[in-house]
A and B are shown apart, each in its own frame.
Chain A
Amino acid sequence: MIPAMTPAATALRAGWARGLIELRQSFTNAGDLLAHLLWPVLMLAVLYFMRDRPFGSEGLLLGTLALPSILGMNAAMGMVSMAQTLTAEREDGTLLRAKATPDGMRSYLVGKVVTVAGGLFVQLAILLLPGLLIIDGLAVGSLDAWLTLTWVLVLGMLATLPLGAVLGSVFTSSRGQGLLQLVVLGMIAVSGIFYPITSMPEWLQGTAHFSPVYWLGLGMRSALLPESAVSVEIGGSWRQLETVGALGAWALLGLAVAPFVLRRMARGESGSSVAARRDRALRRIG
Chain B
Amino acid sequence: MATSGEIVLDVEGLRMRYGTTDVLHGVTFGARQGEVLALLGPNGAGKTTTIEIMEGFRARSAGRVRVLGTDPAHGTEQWRARLGVVLQSWRDHGRWRVRELLAHLGTYYAPYSTDAIRRPWDTGELLEAVGLSEHADRKIRTLSGGQRRRLDVAIGLVGRPELLFLDEPTAGFDPEARHEFHGLVQRLADDRETTVLLTTHDLDEADKLADRILILAGGRIVADGPADDLARRTTAADEVRWTRDGRNFVTSTPGSTAFVRGLFHAYGEEISGLEVRRASLEDTYLELVRQGEAAAREAKAAQ
What is A's interface to B at a CB cutoff of 8 Å? 2, 4-5, 7, 10, 13-14, 17-18, 21-22, 25, 29, 89, 92-94, 96-97, 99-104, 107, 269-272, 274-275, 278
Contact B96 A25 (CB under 8 A): yes
Which residue of chain B lies nearest to A5 when distances are taken between CB atoms in the complex?
B111
**Pick from B91, B96, B113: contact of A93, CB under 8 Å:** B91
CA–CA, A21 and B78, complex, Å:
26
Q: Measured between C-beta atoms, what is the minimum distance from A15 to chain B in Å?
A: 10
Interface pair A94/B57, CB less than 8 Å apart: no
Minimum CB–CB distance for B229 against chain A, Å: 31
Q: Which residue of B lies closest to A105 (CB)?
A: B77
**Cα distance A278–B109 in the bound complex, in angstroms:** 29
Stretch of B9-17, B81-89, B183-191, B268-276 lying at the A interface: B81-89
Q: Closest chain B residue to A31 by CB distance?
A: B95
The docked-state distance in angstroms from the alpha carbon of A25 to that of B101 is 12
Can you list 20 A-B contacts (CB < 8 A)? A2-B110, A2-B111, A4-B111, A5-B111, A7-B111, A14-B104, A21-B100, A21-B104, A25-B96, A92-B91, A93-B90, A97-B93, A97-B155, A100-B55, A102-B159, A107-B108, A270-B55, A270-B58, A271-B88, A272-B52
Cβ of A165 to closest chain B Cβ, rounded Å? 18
- Shortest C-beta distance, B101 to chain A (Å), equals 9
Contact A99 B110 (CB under 8 A): no
Is the C-beta of B48 less than 8 angstroms from some C-beta in chain A? yes
Q: How far is the CA of A249 from the CA of B267 in the complex (A)?
A: 92
6 pairs of A and B residues whose beta carbons are closest in the complex: A270-B57, A102-B81, A271-B87, A94-B92, A102-B77, A93-B92
The 8 A CB mask of B34-75 against A (1 = contact, 0 = none) is 000000000000001100100101100000000000000000
B48 touches A102 (CB 8 A): no
Whole-angstrom distance from the CB of A84 to the nearest CB of chain B? 15
Q: Is the CB of A102 within 8 A of B109?
A: yes
Told that A21-B104, A101-B105 touch, could you supply 12 new A-B pairs with CB distance under 8 A? A2-B110, A10-B110, A25-B95, A92-B94, A93-B91, A97-B90, A97-B155, A102-B111, A269-B57, A271-B57, A275-B89, A278-B91
Residue B107 CB within 8 A of the other chain: yes
Contact of B201 with A by CB under 8 A: no
Chain A residue with the shortest CB-CB distance to B88: A271
Number of A-B contacts (CB under 8 A): 83
B112 beta carbon closer than 8 Å to chain A = yes
Is A14 touching B108 in the complex (CB atoms < 8 A)?
A: yes
Residues from chain A with a CB closer than 8 A to the CB of B78 are 102
> B92 near A97 (CB under 8 angstroms)?
yes
Q: Is B167 an interface residue, CB under 8 A from the partner? A: yes
**Taking the complex as formed, is B178 at the interface, i.e. its CB lies under 8 A from any CB of chain A?**
no
Kindly report which residue of chain A lies nearest to residue B113, judged by CB atoms. Answer: A2
Provide the residues of chain B in CB contact with A22, threshold 8 Å: 95
B80 on the A face (CB < 8 A):
yes
Please determine whether A103 and B77 come into contact, CB atoms closer than 8 angstroms. Answer: yes
What's the minimum C-beta distance from A256 to chain B, rounded to whole angstroms?
Answer: 23
Distance in Å: Cβ of A270 to nearest Cβ of chain B: 4
The residues of B that contact A274 with a CB separation of less than 8 Å are 87
**Chain A, interface SS category:** helix
Q: Are B108 and A271 in contact (CB under 8 A)?
A: no
Cβ–Cβ contact A21 & B96, under 8 A: yes
CA A97 – CA B92 in complex, angstroms? 8
Complex: A1 Cα to B203 Cα, angstroms:
44
Q: Which residues of A contact B93 (CB under 8 A)?
A: 94, 97
Contact call B107/A14, Cβ cutoff below 8 A: yes
Residue of B52, B77, B104 near A17 (CB, 8 A) is B104
B80 near A275: Cβ-Cβ < 8 Å: no
A44 vs B256: C-alpha distance in the bound complex, in angstroms?
83
Pairwise interchain contact B80-A101, C-beta atoms closer than 8 A:
yes
CB <8 Å contact, A102 and B80? yes
A17 to B100, CA, bound (A): 11
Chain A, Cβ-Cβ closest to B77: A102
Closest B residue, CB atoms, query A106:
B77
Q: Across the two chains, which residue of chain B brings its CB closest to A100?
A: B85
A7: chain B residues within 8 A (beta carbon): 77, 111
Write out the residue numbers on chain A whose beta carbons fall within 8 Å of the beta carbon of B92.
89, 92-94, 96-97
Taking the closest CB of chain B, its distance from the CB of A91, in whole angstroms, is 9
With A25-B95, A99-B57, A270-B58 as known contacts, state yes or no: A17 contacts B90, CB within 8 Å: no
Bound-state Cα–Cα, A269 to B77, Å: 16
Q: Chain B contacts of A101 at CB under 8 A? A: 80, 105, 108
